[in-house]
Every structure is written in C-alpha cells, then in structure tokens.
Amino acid sequence: MARGTIRYWAAARDAAGTAEEPYDAVTLAEALAAARRQRGDEPRFASVLSVCSYIVDGKPVGTRDLETVLLADGGTVEVLPPFAGG
C-alpha cells in the first residue's frame, strides 16, 4: 500500500471540497474509488472525476486503464478537469 497526496484543481477542487487529500492505495483506480466513497459517492464529484485527466508523479496517465497505474509511496496525483480558454 502506498501513501501520498491527491491534488484537485479548478472544478475538481470545488467538487471535492478540498484542494488536496492523502491517498492510501496501490493503484490510481483504488485511490479515486476511496475518494468517491469518502464523499458518499456524491454524483457531482463522480461526474467531475469521469472527465478529468490525471498526472501521477509528473507523468500524464493518458488513456491507460486506471487499474494499471501504480502509485508510489510519497507520490502525488494531480486531478485536472477540462480547462477552457488559453
């Protein structure tokens, strides 16, 4: 089990109700599932997460299956909703 930090940006931060929180998980999918459970599977939070991009320890996750993205102890997950503008 790895422990680290999830950082939420923009609309993800608003939906999460916090700018960051710790994770205690092996994969990105597990960390995000725990974050959803912590919020009672609140639909708005789940909806925002479904359109977000993720960066794990500085590397974009892209289209990889979140179950295959391993998390590091002391790592950081950036949760980035779609941005408009430039």
- For 50-69, what is each residue's pLDDT tens digit? 999 999 999 999 999 999 99
Whether residue 29 lies inside any domain: the answer is yes
Report the number of distinct structural domains present in the chain.
1
pLDDT at res. 54: 98
In terms of residue numbers, what domain contains 31?
Answer: 2-80
Q: Read off the pLDDT of residues 5-44 as tens digits, 9 standing for 90 and up.
A: 999 999 999 999 999 999 999 999 999 999 999 999 889 9
pLDDT at res. 2: 97
With the CA atoms of 28, 31, 33 and 38 taken in that order, what torsion angle do they form, in degrees rounded to the nearest 10? -160
Residue with structure tokens 């430039």? 86
CATH number of 25's domain: 3.10.20.30
Total-model pTM: 0.93
Whether residue 85 lies inside any domain: the answer is no
pLDDT at res. 84: 57
Instruction: State the Cα–Cα distance between residues 30 and 12, nearest whole angstrom.
Output: 18
Whether residue 36 lies inside any domain: the answer is yes
Whether residue 86 lies inside any domain: the answer is no
Residue 1 has pLDDT above 80, yes or no: yes
